[in-house]
Amino acid sequence: MALTITLEDDLVAALKDRAQKQQLSVEQLVIRILTEALIGSEATTLQETVAQIQATPPNPAQIRPATADLAELLHAAPGDPAFDLEDWKRQWSVIEAEMKAITRLNDVAESRGRAD
């Protein structure tokens, strides 16, 4: 059976990248992901799922040992002359206000609070 699914460009790019890394076609990767998702959804309890994850051995290809101490690297890193702390704080305040507004709207929409 053929099935056509329209995906966002960034998701397609991520799938292509992952497929290439696994030396699969995009179609093979998607079939594998969907199959694993369907089989995985048959796990009867959360505890079984956690046990399965814990029993999975680490993948050495995904482990990169540290090559230096992060604190030392950050301390020794040169400052960014283009970085403006006050401008960053202003921008962050705008973002926080937007997040709070979204949270308030979600709370109202989901009847978790009043509109204030």
Model confidence pLDDT, tens digit, residues 58-70: 888 888 899 999 9
The whole-number pLDDT of residue 58 equals 87
The mean pLDDT value of the chain amounts to 86
pTM of structure: 0.36
pLDDT digit string (tens) for 92-108? 999 999 999 999 999 98
R_g of the chain, CA atoms, integer Å: 23
Cα distance between the two ends of the chain:
53
The answer, yes or no, to whether residue 43 has pLDDT greater than 60, is no
Give the model's confidence band at 41: pLDDT under 50 very low, under 70 low, under 90 confident, else very high. low
For residue 4, which of 29, 25, 22, 30 has the smallest C-alpha distance?
30
